[in-house]
Amino acid sequence: MKKRLTLGKKTLVMGILNVTPDSFSDGGLYFDKEKAVKRTEEMIKEGADIIDIGGESTRPGSAMVTLNEELRRVISVVKQVRKKFGEKIIISIDTYRSEIARQALDAGVNIVNSLGGFLLDKKLADIVAKFKCPMIIYHIKGKPKTMQKGKITYKDVILDIKRFFEKEISFGVSKGIKKDQFLIDLGIGFGKTVEQNLEIIKRLDELKSLDLQIVIGVSRKSHLAKVLQDELKLTSLPLPTERIEASLAETAVAVLNGVKIVRTHDVLQTKKFLAVLDKLKE
């Protein structure tokens, strides 16, 4: 029997496992299946509550991979992780494709984490309804290849994103998904300027009216490098591995504003950080 996602007082940590050659922070590090499984073991030991496995980079400028290539990258890793670690860990699949989700759920995945909800594949709703699994919808304006190009505008960034969630969830419910299966992720860095990303973090509590749990993913993202460069007068942008403290600063505000799951590359540091933050919230 699959382990169920249970949210309580403690903030959960979702460890990122990119089985890709080109992700912005760790592309290529875990492209090999054995390395991916080893990294999973490390993250479990560091305290990860969820492992989020993705086979397609969604960094700015990235192109979509074929269905067969994504299948080749992720399904064998999902099977290996489930076989080796049993039901002690919750696994999420980071995909918008219905066929990837179906095969991943058959292989033991617990959660579907979908870029754009159902925008890129309407059939995904049927799969989530059939498996009755939790689903994270993360917001994007545009597509990864072009989302950070040109002028990025919103009438009101939080209200516009809120309407996006309402529309996607309404479609999912019409296909048989229960509202309480959904979690939301505001998609920091997915079609947003530096200022818009910061505004979203500060205004997260305005989404309470949706009555849904919130996931956040700010780990090592490029807008943090730009903030650090500007505020510290640096001559160059800090590398992804040099943005951990900045990631935790944003995480703190997000959690205080109601976030329940933090998606991160840096599981151990985030777990220690949240242990103290959650204690202070009691």
Active site members: 221, 263
Beta strands, E only, 57-105: 90-94
Q: Which of 181, 243, 227 is nearest to 24 (CA)?
A: 243
43 contacts: CB under 8 Å, gap ≥ 6: 15, 17, 51, 267
Cα distances (angstroms) measured from residue 89 to each of 76, 85, 86, 115: 17, 7, 7, 22
Helix, strand, coil percentages, rounded to 5, for the chain: 45, 15, 40
Cα(81)–Cα(233) distance, rounded to whole angstroms? Answer: 43
| Position 147, amino acid | M
